[in-house]
Structure 1
Amino acid sequence: MLRWLVMAGLIALLLGGCTAKPLRNVEIDPPTRGLLHYLQQDQMTNVSDRGYKVTVAEEQSVESGREIKIELQVLDPSGLPVERFTEDMTKLMHLIIVSADLSTFSHVHPVHEGQGKFKVKLSFPHGGRFLLISEFMPDDVGLTVYKKWITVGGAEPAIEMLTVSESMQTVVSGVEVTLTAMPDMKEIKAGEMAMLNFTLKDAATGNPIKLEPYLGTSGHCVILDESATQYLHVHAVSDMSAGTSSVMFHTQFPKAGMYKLWAQFQYQGKVLVAPFVIKV
């Protein structure tokens, strides 16, 4: 019964909260607040490269266990360096780095040095294949994503098959993070909207914590399928997050399969990363 009441509440929000009002043509008169506004926003669901390309050059051979400098060159569809970028979530570029088995994850922000060049210092924990996912907004064309695999030298760990998390609760730096979903976790289906809710508490006391803004919002959630081909990056739905210790995201999983989620929040000046594996 509670689930149906919650669903009814969401439907009411979608319709503007009052059935007495006539429905609008939301394409002509788009909403500027509420749940429907967020559902219409581009939530980074497999955004394409739009013909843009990012080349990767390193100042030295890429070996695990030591810091190296990497230069990213952004080229437009004609092969020319991109001159103009627009900030997205307070940064000109977001760079996601994951290992092929999805065991390691990093989210950094390269520095723009002009003429489409970005530089960043990286350190890889082990050898093997790593995926670099660049997110940026060039030439006012909108959000753009480019993926590139690189090989890192050094010892490679034994590859473990991705398995569903035994518990949807984990502790990160003294903070207890619990993941729930609507529909229920076992009922999430590809192509249908899913609401992901993260509740954060002090692991020692059980008291809610007060999160700080992270990159312009309450939280970020990066999602990859087990082959690292399906990529999603969603931002918190501020109007649907109950206070600062409960953060909600919405998304659509493009196909059935296993997915790994990395939820990111900021607390006491530190970024917390809570990983979970689910099956869609």
Structure 2
Amino acid sequence: MSFASRFTSRRRALAAAGTAVVLAATPAACGSSKDSGPSMSGMDHGSKPSASASAAGADRDHGSMPGMDHGGMGDGLADVKDGYELTSTTTALPAGKKAAYRFRITGPDGKPVTRFAVDQTKRMHFYAIRSDLTGFQHLHPTMGDDGTWTADLAALKPGKWRMYASFIPDNGPGKGEDLVLSRTVTAPGDARRTPLPAAATSADADGYTVTVKGDLTAGTTHPMTVGVSKGGKPVTDLQPYLETYAHLTAFHEGDQAFAHLHPRTEVKGDTGGPDLAFRAMLPKSGNWRLFLQFRTGGTLHTAALTLRVG
């Protein structure tokens, strides 16, 4: 996959601080083993993946260039921003089985938005995460002619979930603005909370070891490096995924504030690695749960990272 030429520089850079970073394998939720659809990621921290679910209609146009800051997107906790609103009649979804979440984005005129710019090959990035930061899913939903999006979720564990829509309007007063909006839903049942894993600087994910290095301080931007190895040897066959060598998303413990960062390492060919450079800045103190998605041999892997930000 070639590296895109168009920059998107409006989404706030992901921030990270603290000396302890914990990485635990979690199931991928954006792409199956052959990147044909999202797989389920509804298990506890550090568990193995379960069954996959399809995400049809993935838009494969090329859009923004990875590695740039995306300021102004906010923390993703509101359903309305700058006149744009995430609307849905769904407040509950069944637990333990696949389910579809349907929603619209309405503009300042109150009408459904149907034109969206391409960002990292997609017109809509959709995320679902449980209140204890388990069950991460990253999907690319499909849109109907009336502006209704359908996100086909893998099975949800009982509990409260937050659904995030990340998009860029392609017309209207918000044209070119990078937005993240969210709403919550409940999956009924015994919603036992899973604590975040203990801190560590590295951990294994699907046989790969992911290591984070960086002298990070809360509220300021610092370089951060993520290295990938296997069997003690550096991994140099990372494949481009959404026009990057890795996709990184973070959620703040407690309020589930959203942050997003792509590696600044330029995609120059079909393979890359072992080190991925980031510029990281997380504005809030406390624990952040990061989800790093990377692909090798056509298989998408997801590593979960817990960062303590002072």
TM-score scaled by length of structure 2: 0.68
Letter in 1 for 2:203: T
Cα gap change, 1:228/1:245 in structure 2, threshold over 3 Å: closer, same or farther?
A: farther
In structure 1, the gaps of 5 or more residues are: 1-36
Determine helix, strand or coil for the equivalent of 1:215.
Answer: coil
Conserved? CA contact 2:66–2:263, under 8 Å: no
SS for the counterpart of 1:265 is: strand
Aligned partner (choices 210, 213, 218) of residue 177 of structure 1: 210
AA of the residue aligned to 1:236: P
Q: For residues 71 and 278 of structure 1, do their structure 2 counterparts lie closer, same or farther at Cα, with a shift above 3 Å needed?
A: same
Aligned residue number for residue 200 of structure 1: 228
1:278 alignment partner in structure 2: 307
Aligned to 2:249: 222
Could you tell me whether the CA contact under 8 Å between 1:47 and 1:143 is conserved in 2?
no
Aligned pair partner of 2:105 in 53, 74, 82: 74
2:226 is equivalent to residue 191 of structure 1: no
Q: Which residue of 2 aligns with 1:42?
A: 70
The higher relative CO (CA closer than 8 Å, separation ≥ 6) is in 2
Give, in whole Å, the separation in 1 of the partners of 2:234 and 2:75. 38
Q: What's the RMSD between the two structures over aligned residues?
A: 2.7
- For 1:153 and 1:137, locate their aligned partners in 2 and report how far apart those are by CA, in whole Å: 33
Q: Is the 8 A contact 2:102 2:151 kept in 1?
A: yes
Structure 1 residue 156: Cα displacement: 1.8
Pair 61,233 (structure 1): closer, same or farther in 2 beyond 3 Å: closer
Determine whether 1:63 maps to 2:94: yes
Aligned to 1:254: 283
Among 83, 87, 90, the residue aligned to 1:51: 83
The question of whether the paired residues in 2 share the 8 Å contact of 1:99 and 1:128 is answered with yes
> What is aligned with 1:235?
262
Residue identity over aligned pairs, in percent, reads 23
Alignment gaps of 5+ in structure 2? 1-64
Is 1:83 the counterpart of 2:111? The answer is no
- Cα deviation, 1:167-209, whole Å, max 9, x if unaligned, reads 221111121111112x2xxxx322201222111112x353424
Q: 1:220-273: per-residue Cα shift (whole Å, max 9, x none)? A: 111111123432111110249994221122121112221111111111112211
**Which structure has the bigger radius of gyration?**
1
Matched residue count: 235
Question: Which of 98, 120, 124 is the equivalent residue of 2:151?
Answer: 120
User: Retained in 2: the 8 A contact 1:124–1:152?
Assistant: no
